[in-house]
A and B are shown apart, each in its own frame.
Chain A
């Protein structure tokens, strides 16, 4: 998709201007349009559906949030219960993202570089959190870490339950972004480094890790966004106790159930903003990677 934007300036037939920057500006000001009549109609229909489904509803959230002005924002966000929920969510999401960066990379490494019986099963199990309904994820974790835990761990309704649920639902992100990059990594650079006397740790730190960083970052951004917005798996597991285990999504839902759509929209628009920031960051990371490759 970015190839159109990155294609070289050699296509320009215009004689080079003294500044030498002119062709670039000219190309940017008139984006190419290659739509035929049929495809323009198709684009129109799909855009209409996309607007009705996604854009207009999300705009309505922003509009409802903006209605009350900064005062409403201020009063919603400074409410102590809301603030507790926001800080809990952000801290837990950061913890879980950190865990995922380490564990996700380790799991991806084991899946690509190691060989042992049952590896393909491990590979399928990684995707289970993607496919499992979130409410079922909560129930599933409750069976091992809840009141009837065979391990004797009673983590339900505590902060640990929040960490656990978020770690469960975000497990696949880093693994699935790092795995393909690790698979494509050229072995000869590593061998060259090793033959020149680099120790294993050095090879990993200086050769392998730098090429994995963009993928790890992308996975971390995805898992942070997912952790911030998680709802379903926490319903049964965390008990939603105000000031202790109540996350932002639950807070928004409480506002909606009380008919306070304006406050819900104010808080929801903040979450939406975070989601947008993550999307933009991901797009930038991907562009940088594709430019390098």
Chain B
């Protein structure tokens, strides 16, 4: 390994740390500091506010549904992509990544065009059958699923490649059927990758803003999620409340990151 001279080393170190400090660390710390500027009262007051608590419950419900759907979908599609050959596989595996680079606003518009009750492709039919998608929780769950779609797949596919299918074949040759092989052999070996993907999806789902804003209709007290409350409160000059809600979201997302940071070395062992 080529050694770097002391001055260069220090310069690079200072540039890297300084950039991250001014861009990320200090601003985040300031929001936390402002939340607690007047003690715990601010946070407790927000937790007592029905608009905020309702939104937090809704966010949690939507995020959990989306994470469950994405986990089931993600594991099955990863299994199909790695273990089987079929026409169109390459196109599919490229399309899977599309949601990561599509703007949340475009996601919202896309779902709106298909599922809105008046002029959507499927909306009127679904509505006459009694299902409202747009401006209701199904639409919000779909929007959240869309934006967090590739996260589980991106974690699980490399692990599938790495472990190979020797154990599965051994299990099958010893007489295990497909579900037994899956639950006893496949799932335990990808466990940490799935957990990692779930944590990332959860963080992404709790924080989705743009797509949910369009799809939910942003109705206060009914379809307003935590991120929408932050926007509404800030724009209504209730800054302390906006900061407190943000703090909760920051807390959850950093907790997710720390969980992932602890899982990483375990996964490597």
Contacts and interface: CB of A to CB of B under 8 A. Distances in A.
A54 B98 contact: yes
A33 to B, nearest CB: 5
Interface in A74-129: 103, 106-107, 109-111, 113-114, 116, 120, 122-129
Given A54-B98, A54-B149, A38 B178 contact: yes
Contact of B1 (A54, A191, A231): A191
A289 interface: no
Contacts of A265: 109, 113
B262 to A, nearest CB: 10
B94 interface: yes
A194 interface: yes
A253 to B, nearest CB: 5
A50 B227 CA distance: 26
Interface in B85-118: 85-87, 89-90, 92-95, 97-115
B20 A272 contact: no
B4 A113 contact: yes
B234 A236 contact: yes
A249 interface: yes
A42 B208 contact: no
**Which secondary structure dominates where chain A touches chain B?**
helix
A57 B227 contact: no
Contact of B254 (A38, A39, A131): A131
B30 interface: yes
B159 interface: no
Interface in A167-223: 167-168, 171, 187, 190-191, 193-194, 200, 203-204, 208, 222
Interface in B191-231: 200, 203-204, 206-210, 213-214, 226-227, 230-231
B227 A135 contact: yes
B16 interface: yes
Contact of B12 (A38, A106, A140, A144): A106
Given A136-B249, A140-B30, A275-B98, A1 B105 contact: no
A235 B102 contact: no
B145 interface: yes
21 contacts: A38-B178, A54-B95, A55-B95, A57-B113, A60-B110, A61-B113, A110-B12, A110-B16, A111-B16, A116-B13, A122-B20, A126-B24, A128-B24, A135-B227, A144-B27, A187-B1, A190-B1, A225-B101, A231-B103, A250-B105, A261-B109
Given A256-B105, A268-B110, 15 more contacts: A1-B89, A5-B90, A43-B86, A50-B77, A54-B95, A57-B113, A61-B109, A126-B24, A128-B28, A130-B204, A136-B207, A248-B103, A253-B214, A272-B102, A279-B98
Interface of B: 1-5, 8-9, 12-13, 15-17, 19-20, 22-28, 30-31, 34, 73, 76-77, 79-87, 89-90, 92-95, 97-115, 121, 142, 145-146, 149, 157, 178, 200, 203-204, 206-210, 213-214, 226-227, 230-231, 234-235, 242-243, 246, 249-250, 253-254, 256-258, 260-261
Q: Give 10 nearest A-B pairs by CB, closest first.
A: A133-B207, A229-B103, A57-B110, A225-B101, A131-B253, A232-B209, A60-B113, A187-B1, A143-B30, A110-B16
